[in-house]
Amino acid sequence: MMDKEIKREIMLDHYNNPNNKKTVNDERYRSVHNASDSCIDDVTVYMLVEDGKVIDTKFDGVGCTICTASTDIMCDLIEGKNLEEAKDIINEYYKMIDEKPFDEDKLDEANAFDTLYQQANRIKCGTIGIHAIEDLINGYDKQ
């Protein structure tokens, strides 16, 4: 279990200074929009995949701390990974959110969300950006 202080620091850092929050206007990137129909979280994720490898992932939109930080962290986590590895990381993340046993080592800073399952009303916030990333990976993977 990650220390509370560290978790808070990670979350606020990725919320206040999300290094992957950027609108991309580059034809090589694909994008997916995902928005909550019950809250305000609304993100678009942009992804560049070359030779089966995630080169770069960015996002923009409006989101709460959980939505923004979780998306930003996942963009970092999958960078440089091949599609299978990226999917695997996302699956481990979903397991954590579903309160199932998961591999901490694969989630690095995303471990900050290891108690999110306790807040039923916020789980959606922590999965909106991740679903968009997953959609993009699945899209590339089908080719």
* Residues engaged in binding other proteins (CB under 8 A): 4, 7-8, 11-12, 15, 38-41, 62-66, 112-113, 115-116, 118-119, 121-122, 125
If the CB atoms of residues 25 and 120 are measured against other proteins, the closer one turns out to be 120
Smallest gap from residue 12 Cβ to other proteins (A):
6
Using CA atoms, how far residue 4 sits from 8, 50, 111, 112, in Å, is 6, 37, 11, 8
Smallest gap from residue 119 Cβ to other proteins (A):
5
Smallest gap from residue 9 Cβ to other proteins (A):
9
Rounded (10°) CA dihedral 34, 38, 39, 45:
0
* Half-sphere CA count of 115, side-chain side, radius 13 A: 7
* Half-sphere CA count of 32, side-chain side, radius 13 A: 18
If the CB atoms of residues 1 and 101 are measured against other proteins, the closer one turns out to be 1
Smallest gap from residue 77 Cβ to other proteins (A):
19
If the CB atoms of residues 4 and 100 are measured against other proteins, the closer one turns out to be 4
